[in-house]
Amino acid sequence: MTEEAGIAIGDGIATITLDNPPVNALGAGLRGALMTALGAALHDPGVQVIVLTAAGRTWPAGADIREFGRPPEAPSLPELCQAVAGSAKPVIAALHGMVLGGGLELALAARVRLAEPGTELGLPEVTLGILPGAGGTQRLPRLIGAKRALGLMLSGLPIGAARAEELGLVDAVTEGGSAAAAERLARAYLAGEAELPEVEEQRRRVDPGAWLLAVAAARSGLGDPQLPAPGRIIDCVEAALLLPEDEGFAFERAAFEDLVATSEAAALRHAFLAERRAAKQPDLAHVKPREIHNVGVVGGGLMGAGIATALLGAGCSVTLVERDGEALAAGLARVATHHERAVAKGRLSPEAREAEWARLAGATGLAALAGSDLVIEAAYEDEAVKAGIFAELDRVARPGAVLATNTSYLDVNRIAAATARPGDVIGLHFFSPVQAMRLVEVVVGAETAPDVIASAFALARRIGKVAVRAGVCDGFIGNRILTAYRTAADFLLEDGASPYEIDRAMVAWGFPAGPYQVLDMAGLDISWARRRRLAATRDPARRYVAIGDRLCEAGRLGRKAGKGYYLYPERAWQGVEDPDVLALIAAEREARGIVAREVTAAEIQDRVLAAMANEGARILEEGIAARPSDIDLVMLLGYGFPRWRGGPMLAADQAGLLALRKRLVDYAREEEAFWRPAALWEELIKNGRKFADLND
Ligand code: TC6
């Protein structure tokens, strides 16, 4: 990393160029270099105007996220921003790329901001559980008004250059490069041909009544948030109006320091970095992915149509294959519906839709896939069905085509064995609905070729998904942990908790829905079919809770049947509690000689976390996942695990490995096979390490 702030002086203008690839994050090195360059410009009597610009693809995209949680290094970002704001010589910020977080705060400290078309500006700190702590909460409302400033800071979403100009966040959007425009403005100013906006003038826009109203409205809109950052942002904006300027900055700083030290902020940082880390596959660093343009999708159901839509959006040509004309028409209609919704929401232009539609073909036989570079099979989840498809694909697909299965549980090696080219076969486990879910598990078989794995990662990135590598086992990473979660919940159900208590406990813990609500939504028959598939190989000595089977036998297949764990009068979206289910559970307990005991919400949460983290530890030991953060990412992106808890492995670190292992040992007295702690716990504890230490 260069971490430089080069300075070039000429004609009264000092141009300082920030250079810290890839995103010019404002780490200690760059901050120090900028402070030095600024000092040089201020001390040079020949310099009258300072232009601040950035090399590479972007203006600083923020503070360096990796530095949070470590001892601070001078100069701090607030000190740097104060130095820019207090500069006796006007500073013109020439913006491009992603002007985010601390990067936007640095720009806000300048006297003038010029942007290029395509520049995006935002304050995403709230998504990291913190707030703009380098003057942003104080300067932004003065510049664009409290209401709009709160909108930007509470949503964390960026806005485009044109909108930023409308709001007064940038002074002008200029063609031909912002650095060149800044230099032109500086020259014109020095020649007395142009004026620079006065900071004081901007402050005169303040309307205290509107400001306080915006603060009150934002507060009442907060509801009962699980995270503290939004409330603290609003407090800071209020302080910007009510306190003297220097006290406002100090107020903001104190709030930032509180937030950055919370476990929630640590978890959100972990989630951000986990996403980037998952893409790093050291064994593939020099492997070239195969070219993928033409893709065949086998199966036009919800999954297949969703996958086809995503591929079309990324510029691929797609052939959708179904078993007959009727099923094909239905599959194509699903893609058309996705397109219509995207157009209605303004995410796709009608022209782009036409172009995408023109790249879509339909067929009723696999022979149509002879020219495909990649085939993704998204047929019925049954090994014999999938093996049959792969055997035929082996006959029709061109040599070198990547053959992928979208299985969510099945053995990719056995599916690959149906072909004479297992090196070309891989699992691509998409999540439903494909357009909303960013996760893809890339399931690598025993013989999958490195360039096939690299192709899967490249494709995932191209279609805007986050790929996580997984090995072959029943359920890979995500569904395996989900099974452990549900097993722990089922034990509690049989021991005395109601499904409603368990759901409420997990929602209170941060999941969007509890395990039984999710089962009802997905349909109880899906997991029932899987249990029946595995029945022959189940260890009879292991505890087996049959409540789910009893519900299915009683026709309670979930929401689609109007009843499952909950009752859905007239197919209501939200289920209501059902005494019949409680009676069925009570009967099941009685049949097994179990006397219901009291189960608290805390016990439910503790057991579920212990079960998930223990399964995660086993997954690591078996090499199914390469790193704990990959497991966390799968659970965050695919299973509704609360992002601010960072995933099961980080949550285990935060709960304390010793304490969690002790719990597992205690639980193992009830059910040894399920609860026995993986050996990894002991190894980490004895060496004073955490799961997070295994990430890099
Ligand atoms: C803040 O500023 C608070 C201020 C208050 C201070 C008091 N730090 O995402 P990509 C790395 S909070 C460190 O793959 P893209 C990233 O890890 C911050 N590193 O690229 C990756 O590294 P790797 C507010 C960062 O083109 C590489 O850059 N800012 C940071 O898909 C490429 O990243 C944000 O929240 C960072 N801030 O997207 C913005 N940002 O190659 C966070 C990136 O070693 N960043 N890296 O794996 C983003 O949203 C995106 O990175 C992007 C570029 C849109 C800038």
DSSP per-residue letters across 505-551: HHHHHT-SS-HHHHHHHH-HHHHHHHHHHHGGG--TTS----HHHHH
Pick the atom of ligand 1 nearest to 124's CA: 35
| Residue 526: pLDDT band with limits 50, 70, 90 | confident
Q: Cα 310 to chain center, whole Å?
A: 17
Residue from 3, 105, 165, 183 carrying the catalytic annotation: 105
- Would you state the pLDDT for residue 1? 45
509: which 2 tokens?
Answer: 């813990």
Residue from 3, 120, 125, 322 carrying the catalytic annotation: 125
Instruction: Give how far Cα 378 sits from Cα of 108, 321, 411, 656, Å.
Output: 50, 10, 15, 41
In 299-373, beta strands by DSSP E: 317-321, 360-363
- Would you state the pLDDT for residue 501? 98
Which residue's alpha carbon is at the smallest distance from atom 53 of ligand 1? Answer: 23
The reply to whether ipTM tops 0.95 is yes
| Residue 285: pLDDT band with limits 50, 70, 90 | very high
Closest CA to 598 of 493, 667, 496: 496
DSSP 558: B
pLDDT above 60: residue 43: yes
**Cβ–ligand 1 contact at 609 (below 6 Å):** no
**Cβ–ligand 1 contact at 375 (below 6 Å):** no
> Annotated catalytic, 447?
no
Residues 236 and 252: beta-carbon distance below 8 Å: yes
Angle at 674 between CA 491 and CA 614, to 5 degrees: 105
- Would you state the pLDDT for residue 2? 55
pLDDT in tens, 168-205: 999 999 999 999 999 999 999 999 999 998 775 565 56
Distance 19 CA to ligand 1 centre (A): 15
Instruction: Choose the residue to mutate in 26, 120, 121, 276 for probing ligand 1, maximizing ligand atoms within 8 Å of C-beta.
Output: 276
**Cβ–ligand 1 contact at 102 (below 6 Å):** yes
**Cβ–ligand 1 contact at 23 (below 6 Å):** yes
- Would you state the pLDDT for residue 204? 57
**Cβ–ligand 1 contact at 132 (below 6 Å):** yes
Which residue's alpha carbon is at the smallest distance from atom 46 of ligand 1? Answer: 23
CA distance linking residue 687 with residue 667, whole number of Å = 24
**DSSP H helical segments within 191-244, as ranges?**
199-203, 208-220, 229-242
State the amino acid at position 196 in one-letter form: L
> Annotated catalytic, 105?
yes
- Would you state the pLDDT for residue 682? 97
**Cβ–ligand 1 contact at 80 (below 6 Å):** no
Distance 98 CA to ligand 1 centre (A): 9
144: which 2 tokens?
Answer: 């664009």
- Would you state the pLDDT for residue 5? 86
Pick the atom of ligand 1 nearest to 102's CA: 2
Pick the atom of ligand 1 nearest to 58's CA: 55
- CB atoms under 10 Å from CB of 668, counted, come to 15
Which residue's alpha carbon is at the smallest distance from atom 9 of ligand 1? Answer: 276
**Cβ–ligand 1 contact at 126 (below 6 Å):** no
- Would you state the pLDDT for residue 382? 86
Which residue's alpha carbon is at the smallest distance from atom 34 of ligand 1? Answer: 62
Instruction: Choose the residue to mutate in 65, 138, 275 for probing ligand 1, maximizing ligand atoms within 8 Å of C-beta.
Output: 65
Closest CA to 628 of 650, 660, 606: 650
Mean pLDDT of the chain: 95
pTM assigned to the model: 0.94
Residues 173 and 121: beta-carbon distance below 8 Å: no
Residues 560 and 570: beta-carbon distance below 8 Å: no
Residues 405 and 412: beta-carbon distance below 8 Å: yes
**Cβ–ligand 1 contact at 51 (below 6 Å):** no
- Would you state the pLDDT for residue 527? 86
| Residue 380: pLDDT band with limits 50, 70, 90 | confident
Q: What share of the chain is helix, strand, coil (3-state, %, to 5)?
A: 55, 10, 35
Q: What is the pLDDT averaged over residues 553-564?
A: 95
Residues 328 and 362: beta-carbon distance below 8 Å: yes
Closest CA to 172 of 185, 156, 158: 185
**Cβ–ligand 1 contact at 124 (below 6 Å):** yes
pLDDT in tens, 559-613: 999 999 999 998 788 899 999 999 999 999 999 999 999 999 999 999 999 999 9
Pick the atom of ligand 1 nearest to 123's CA: 24
Distance 182 CA to ligand 1 centre (A): 25
Distance 276 CA to ligand 1 centre (A): 9
The mean-pLDDT minimum among 67-71, 106-110, 471-475 falls in 67-71
**Cβ–ligand 1 contact at 642 (below 6 Å):** no
CA distance linking residue 297 with residue 308, whole number of Å = 7
Which residue's alpha carbon is at the smallest distance from atom 23 of ligand 1? Answer: 276
Instruction: Choose the residue to mutate in 23, 59, 139, 466 for probing ligand 1, maximizing ligand atoms within 8 Å of C-beta.
Output: 23
pLDDT above 80: residue 72: yes
Cis preceding linkage at 350, omega within 30: no
**Cβ–ligand 1 contact at 120 (below 6 Å):** no
Percentage of residues of the chain with pLDDT beyond 90 = 91
**Cβ–ligand 1 contact at 125 (below 6 Å):** yes
327: which 2 tokens?
Answer: 């099923």
pLDDT in tens, 321-354: 999 999 999 999 999 999 999 999 999 999 999 9
pLDDT in tens, 613-634: 999 999 999 999 999 999 999 9
Q: What is the pLDDT averaged over residues 230-259?
A: 97
**Cβ–ligand 1 contact at 101 (below 6 Å):** yes
Q: Cα 420 to chain center, whole Å?
A: 37
- What is the maximum alpha-carbon separation in the chain? 93
